[in-house]
Amino acid sequence: MRYSIKILGEYVGGNWTEQDLKQWLGMLGLNPVFTRENEETFIEIETPANRGDLFSAIGILRTLAPFSDIEIKYPEKDIIETSDRFLPVEIECFDDCFFYAGRIIESVKVEDSPSWLKEKLISAGFRSVNNVVDITNIVFWEFGQPLHAFDLDLLKEKIIVRRALDGEFIVTLDGVKRELSPQVLVISDSEKPVAVAGVMGGLNSEVTEKTTNLFIESAFFNPVRVRRSSKFLGLVTDASARFEKRVDPSLIIPALDRCCRLINEICGGKISKIITCGKNPDWNKSIDIEKKKIVQYLGCEIPDDFIIKVLTKLGCRVEQMSEYYRVIVPEGRSDLERDVDIIEEIAKYWGYDRIPEQMPLATIAFTPSSQEYLMLDKLRDIFVKLGFTEAVNLGFYGEIERNLFGGQVVEIINPLSRNYAYLRNSLIPGLLQNFRDNFNRKIDCLSLFEVGNIYCQKDHGFFEKPVACAGVVNKWDFYSFKGMIESLLVKIGYHNSVQKVSRSDTGDFVEFLQEGKPVAKIYLPGIRILKAYDLEQQNVFLSEINLEKFLMNGFPLTVYKPVSKYLPVKRDLALIVPDSINWKDVERTLFENIQGLENIEIFDIYRGKGIPEGCTGIAISVVLANKDGVLKKEDIDATVQKIVSILKESFSILLRQ
Amino acid sequence: MNNNGLPFDIEKIIEDARNELEKITRKDELEYWRIKYFGRKGVFAILTSKIPELSQHLRPEAGRKINEAKNLLNELLQQKKIIVESAQTYNDTGLNYTLTGLKPDYGYFNPITLVSRDIVRIFQNLGFGVHTGPEIETDFYNFEALNMPEDHPARDMWDTFYLDAERKFLLRTHTSPVQIRVMEKLKIPFRIIAIGKTFRRDAFDASHSPVFHQVEGLMVGYDITFSNLKAVLIFFLRELFGSNVRVRFLPSYFPFTEPSAEISISCVICNGRGCQTCGFSGWIEILGAGMVHPEVFLKAGIKEKNITGFAFGAGIERIAMIKYRIDDIRQFYLNDIRFLTQFE
C-alpha cells in the first residue's frame, strides 16, 4: 500500500515529521520506503500476511497511535436517508458471508471525478474511472473495506449471495469471460451472476456514465472462500487480497455510510435506508496474559504503565489484575489471537533493540549431531583430497535427460519450465552438463564431484537417497580414475566389492556389488551420450556411489596393524592375460591360495606387438611377506612358482617370454 | 689526445672493455673477456708490468689510474656474471629451472560447503547439534505443523513445487520442517541447526533461484527468552562477519514464530554508509527469527506449558554472496570451474 504523507496528515490532529514516521514504521518492521514525486512524499510499506488492517489509512494510523499523542480524525459519514427504494438481499450460506449491507442511491450523475478526488486517488495508487467508482476506491483506501457499486437498473429483482453453478459464466470488469464453479462465491440477481464476491464485479452490472441509480455493497466475505475463488479464477485484486486477510466487520456500515455520503456530495442523489442480511457475530475476544510470561518470553521486565498505554492506544480494552492482564482486542486486529501475539505487540513498541542480550545459561546439555550430515561432509574431504572439485546442481531433469537416461523419475506437477520438470534419479547427467558448460568455456580438462540426493517414487510414496558422483574429462586415464574410486570405496567401507562389467546403449559400466547388491558403478558414456553433451572424442569417466549402506554402517574403524619387522620381497611378472578374464577373480583366487601374499600391483599394461590378439600384456609386482622371519630364497621361488601355475591352470594366463 | 704524459690511454681501454662486455650473453664469452683483461697475461697485467719503465714522477699517477680502472671493470664483471648465469636456462640436467611449474590438481570445495562449515563450526562451539530432514516433505511438516493450515494466506510467501495432484507431497520450501521433526524426536531441552536444500517456484534472476540452501536453528528449553535469541544470533553474526559488525533486530512476521524478528547486519561492503549492495540503507537483511509459536509446539506434540524456544533461518547462498561479494546467485549453479576454484 502507498500513502501520501500529506493526505495521511488530513486524517490526524497534531503534528508529525517525516523523520518520526520513518522511525516508527521502521521500528515496527514494516520496511517503509519513502519516495518523492511532484513535491509530495509517499510511503510504501511491506504488509505482513496476517495484517490486513494495514491495508488502510485508518489501520496505519491506529498502528502508529502508541508512538505519539496524535488523534485520529475519522472521516465524516453522517447521511440523510431520503429515498424509499428497496432491494431484497438473500444469503444462501452464512458461512460464506455472515453479513451483507447495502444502500440504494437514486438519481446520481456519473461523470469524471473532480480534480481533488482524482489527485487523492492517484496518490493512493488507484486509476481514476468515474466519480462513483473512484469514491468506492477512496473509501476502501480510508477504511480497508472493499466496496462495490452496481448499476441498480441492471439488477433483476434481488441480490443473492450464493455459490456459482457448474457451467455458469461471468464476464468480469476486465472484459474476460470466466467459467465459474461451485468453488466460487458470486453475487447474483434473480437470473445471473453479477459479480464474483470479494474479487471483481461483472460487466453486466457495471456503473457507467449512463447509470442513474446505484446499489452500493459493503459485506463480510469468508476469507477462505475469497481466497479459493481468487485461486480458482487465477485473479488477484486489491479487494480479494484484502478480503482473504479478513476485513473488520465493525467497519462495514461506517464504510458504507461514508461512501454514500461522498457520492451524495459529489454525484448528488437520494440515499435509501440501509438494507442488510445476516449479522455480525458478537465480538468479545479477551486474552489473558500472565505478567511473568512476558518476562519469561522476552527476558526483561517492561513497565506496567507502558504496556497499558500501548495496548489502549491500539484500541484494546485492558484490565490489570495482580498476576495478569485481561485484554479485549479490537475486531480489526484478527492477528491478535493469543498471549504471545500481545507479547509481540509489547516488544515491538518497546523496541527489539532495547531488549538486552543474554546468553542462555548453561543448564542445557549439549545436543549431539546426527551422524549423517557429518559423514557426508567427511566424504567431501576425500573427494577434494583426490583432486575433485565440488559441483552443486539444482537436482532437476528436463525431457532431454529423461529421454537420454530413462529410468523412473518423479514428476513435478507444477514445474517452473520443461527443463526442470522432473527430479533427478542420478547425478551423472548433472555432471555431464557441467562438463559441457565448462567445455564451451574452453576448459577441456577437469574433474568434478557432487554429493546430493536422488529421488524416486515407490507405491504411493516418494523417496530420496543420498549418492555421490565423481567424473573426469581428459584429466586422468581410466586406470587412475578407477584407482581413485576403488580407494574411496575402501575408505567408506565397501571392501572387496565384486565387480561386474556390462554394456548398454548408454555406455559401458563396471558395477561394484556388496552382498549381491550394487553399491557403486564406474560409467563410460557411449557415443550417443557423448554426442548429446558435445563431448565426442573426449576421455570421460564417471562414477556414482550409493551411500545408504555407508551411512548406515559408518566409516570403518581404523585399527592399527603391526608393521612387519622383516622386509617384504617383490617379484615382477610379465603376464599375457586373455581379455575374457575378470582380473578381480584372479586377485581373489591368488589372495585366497597364496600364503604371505601381501599385495599385487599392476605397473604396466600393454597391447599390441608381441601380445597375441585378444590378450593384454600386464606387468605385475607381487609383494610377499612373512611376519615370522626373513623369507628364504627357496620359499620365494616356490611361492612364485605356485602363483604362475595357478594363473596358468585357472585362468590360462601365461608368462610373457 | 691528452694522456698526461702516460704511454697508454686508460679511458679508451675502459670504453673498449665496456663495449665488449655489453655484447656478451653467454658464460663462456664472459670467461674469455675476464681472461683478456684480468688474466695472467691480460691487459692489466701487462700495464702493471710497464710501470717501472716510466719516469719516477709518473709512476704513482699511473698506478692509481690502473687500479681505478681495474676496480671499475671488476665491478661490471660481477654484475654481468649474475645476468649471464641467470640467463643460463637449460643446464646439464636438461631442466629449465625458470619455467613456471605445472598447476597442482587441487580439488576445491563448493562455496556453499565452505560457508556451511563455518556455520556448523560456530554453532557446534555453542553446543548445537547438526540435524537433517528430508527434501521431499509433506504438506503437514512444511505448512500445517508450522501454523499454516490449508488456505492460510501466509502460504503465498512460499511458492511451492508439488509432486502429486492431492498436493500432499512437495519439495520443502524452507528448512523449518526440520523443527517439527527434531521436536518429535529429541528430548527437551535441546539445541540444533540443520542445513540443506530448499525449493521455491521462483524463476532465476540475480537474486532468486528455484533451489537454494538454508540453515535452520532451533533451541528449546524451559527458560529460553527473546534476549537469549538476540545474544546467540549476535554472537553468530559477529563470528561469521567480524567482531565490528553491528546487528539490528526489527519486528517481522512468520506464522511459526511469535514474536518474530528480521535481523540485519551493518553492510560489510560500505560499513553502513550506504552502497549498491545494501540498497543505500546501510543494512543487509540476513536472518529471520523468533520465539517458537505455541501452536507449533502443540503440532509437534509438546504440551508442557512452560517450554519456550527460539528458531531462526538464513540463506546459505546469501551469506556466501555477502562474504565473497558474489553479485549473482546463478553463479552457484553454473559449476564454472573458474568460479569454483576461487574459494579456499
| DSSP states of A241-271 | HHHTT---GGGHHHHHHHHHHHHHHHH--EE
Phi, then psi, of A609 in degrees rounded to 5: -50, 130
Residues in chain A: 657
Predicted local confidence at residue B1, as pLDDT: 43
Task: Report the greatest alpha carbon distance in chain B.
Answer: 122
B residues 88-107 lying closer than 8 A (beta carbon) to A: 105-107
Any A CB within 8 A of B129 CB: yes
**Which residues in chain A have Cβ-Cβ distances shorter than 8 Å to B165?**
413
Q: Are strands A422-423 and A446-458 parallel, antiparallel or unpaired?
A: unpaired
Contact between residue A75 and residue A11 where contact means Cβ atoms under 8 Å apart: yes
Predicted local confidence at residue B103, as pLDDT: 81
Joined grid coordinates for residue A411: 514428476
| Structure ipTM | 0.83
Smallest CA-to-CA distance from B312 within B183, B192, B198, B181 is with B192
Mean pLDDT in residue range B68-75:
90
Distance CA A367, CA A395 (A): 31
Contact between residue A655 and residue A573 where contact means Cβ atoms under 8 Å apart: yes
Q: Sign of the C-alpha dihedral, residues B30, B31, B36, B38?
A: positive
Mean pLDDT in residue range B66-86:
86
B14's CB contacts (< 8 A; 6+ apart) are B69, B72, B73
Tell me the whole-structure pTM to 2 decimals. 0.81
- The residue among A364, A371, A393 with the most chain B CBs within 10 A of its CB, best to mutate, is A364
Distance CA B215, CA B318 (A): 11
Any A CB within 8 A of B337 CB: yes
Cβ-count burial B24-45 (b if 16+ within 10 Å, e if not): beeeeebeebbeebeeeeebbe
Helical axes B226-241 vs B316-324, angle rounded to 10°: 40
Contact between residue A191 and residue A156 where contact means Cβ atoms under 8 Å apart: yes
Predicted local confidence at residue B88, as pLDDT: 62
A:B CB pairs within 8 Å: 236
pLDDT beneath 70, residues of chain A:
362-365
Mean pLDDT in residue range B96-124:
90
Distance CA B132, CA B215 (A): 10
Q: Is B34 helix (H, G, I), strand (E, B) or coil?
A: helix
Distance CA A255, CA A79 (A): 12
Contact between residue A280 and residue A220 where contact means Cβ atoms under 8 Å apart: yes
Q: What is the pLDDT of residues A267-281, one digit of tens each?
A: 999 999 999 999 998
pLDDT over threshold 70, residue B87: no
- The residue among B227, B236, B291 with the most chain A CBs within 10 A of its CB, best to mutate, is B227
| DSSP states of A139-188 | HHHHHS--EEEEEGGGS-S-EEEEEPPTT-EEEBTTS-EEE--TTSEEEE
Q: What is the pLDDT of residues B172-208, one digit of tens each?
A: 999 999 999 999 999 999 999 999 999 999 999 988 9
Q: What is the pLDDT of residues B232-256, one digit of tens each?
A: 999 999 999 999 999 999 999 999 9
Any A CB within 8 A of B136 CB: yes
**DSSP assigned state of A38:** T
Residue scoring higher pLDDT (B293 or B86): B293
Of residues B109, B191, B258, nearest to A380 (C-beta): B109
Question: Domains plus CATH for chain A?
Answer: 2-72 (3.30.56), 81-278 (3.50.40.10), 286-354 (3.30.56.10), 371-553 (3.30.930.10), 569-655 (3.30.70.380)
* A200-201: strand order across its sheet: A89-91, A159-163, A185-188, A193-196, A200-201
User: Of all residues in chain A, what percent carry a pLDDT higher than 70?
Assistant: 99
Contact between residue A631 and residue A569 where contact means Cβ atoms under 8 Å apart: yes
Which amino acid appears at position B239 of this protein? E
Residues in chain B: 344
Predicted local confidence at residue A311, as pLDDT: 95
Chain mean position to CA A516: 40
pLDDT over threshold 80, residue B97: no
How many angstroms separate the Cα of A287 from the Cα of each of A341, A508, A531, B295?
10, 70, 69, 16
